[in-house]
Amino acid sequence: MTTGDNASAIVAGACVATDTETGGVCGKEGNPKRVLSFSFPLCPEHQTEFYSYKQHLAAAVTHRLDRDGVLWGTSPGHTYVVRLKDGNVKIGKTTTILLSRLTNVSRDYNEGEPVEILAVLQGGESTELLAHGKFKHLRLTKQTGERFRPEPELMAWIAEKGIANSAGEQVKQYEEWRQTRLKQRENLAAIKQVARATFDQFDDDDWK
């Protein structure tokens, strides 16, 4: 194993991810990814895949414990299932107020547009991992935000789960915020349209 300054040079270098089919090394600019006592550089895309893989392992363990009947109860919080503007589904967890978490999700993963709640399940991390494991074959591992393809099997599961009673009031609060936000965006779009139409009425000579 390389140590000292040489190790620092390697960590600070290009992404070392190797394609499993071609054997080619990524080589894009990477940032150090620390694992236990060592580090290695990964580009943002491969860091996302690495994170997805870690979640896959955690989901597999959680599923096995649940299958064997030794997973008692659920983690604190809720697991939310929302639709993003790209049409994909995000499955995440929160131990905070749902309104707070989903406003952040809308900002960080949906270009500021309020996400659409599809389901909210009782239970935080354990419930989330079980859902991730169940639909691991639909996960978009190269995208951030725990996104899944909206295939019929996933959508049927979502419809079956619905909204947990414990989250009903929080969902109501979020929907009120969402409708207000959507109306604001609609009004802003209308103002921009009027302004653009007004601007287009002028010829170039009018500005001389």
153-181 average pLDDT score: 96
* Predicted local distance difference test score (pLDDT) of residue 105: 95
**Cα 31 to Cα 39: distance, rounded to the nearest angstrom:** 10
Give the model's pLDDT for residue 198. 73
Decide if 201 is inside a domain.
no
Shared-domain flag, residues 53 and 124: no
Please give the average per-residue pLDDT across 30-58, as a whole number. Answer: 83
Structural domain contains residue 194: no
pLDDT tens sequence across 118-158: 999 999 999 999 999 999 999 998 887 789 999 999 999 99
Would you say residue 203 lies in a domain? no
pLDDT at 203: 61
Residue at 173 is within a domain: yes
Q: Do both 82 and 177 map to the same domain?
A: yes
Pick from 77, 18, 67: nearest CA to 42: 18
Mean pLDDT value across residues 34-43: 85
Contacts of 130 (CB under 8 A, 6+ apart): 59, 62, 63, 66
What is the Cα–Cα distance from 83 to 78, expressed in whole angstroms?
Answer: 16
Q: How confident is the model at residue 2 (pLDDT cuts 50, 70, 90)?
A: very low
Confidence of residue 8 (pLDDT cuts 50, 70, 90): very low
Asked if residue 195 belongs to a domain, the reply is no
- The number of domains in the chain is 2
Q: Could you tell me if residue 101 is inside a domain?
A: yes
Strand ranges (DSSP E) for the chain?
31-35, 38-42, 78-83, 89-94, 116-122, 147-148
Residue 190, Cα to own-chain centre: how many angstroms?
30
Phi, psi (deg, nearest 5) at residue 11? -60, -35
CA 195 vs CA 183, 188, 192, 200, 202: distances in Å: 18, 11, 5, 9, 12
What's the Cα-to-Cα distance from 135 to each of 27, 81, 165, rounded to whole Å? Answer: 31, 13, 24
**DSSP one-letter string for 143-204:** SSS-EE---HHHHHHHHHH-B-GGGHHHHHHHHHHHHHHHHHHHHHHHHHHHHHHHHHTS-G
Amino acid at site 204: D
Please state, for a pLDDT cut of 90, what percent of the chain lies above it.
49
pLDDT at 109 over 70: yes
Mean per-residue pLDDT, 30-53: 84
> Among residues 101, 99, 152, which one has the least CA distance to residue 128?
101
- Non-local CB neighbours of 55 within 8 Å, separated by 6+ positions: 129, 132, 146
According to the model, what pLDDT value does residue 50 have?
85
Contacts of 194 (CB under 8 A, 6+ apart): none
pLDDT at 75 over 80: yes
Please tell me the predicted confidence (pLDDT) of residue 3. Answer: 41
Answer whether residue 19 shows pLDDT above 80.
yes
73 belongs to a structural domain:
no
- Examine the pLDDT at 64 and tell me if it is beyond 80: no
Range of the domain at 116: 78-186
Domain match, 133 and 54 both: no
Q: According to the model, what pLDDT value does residue 67 have?
A: 74
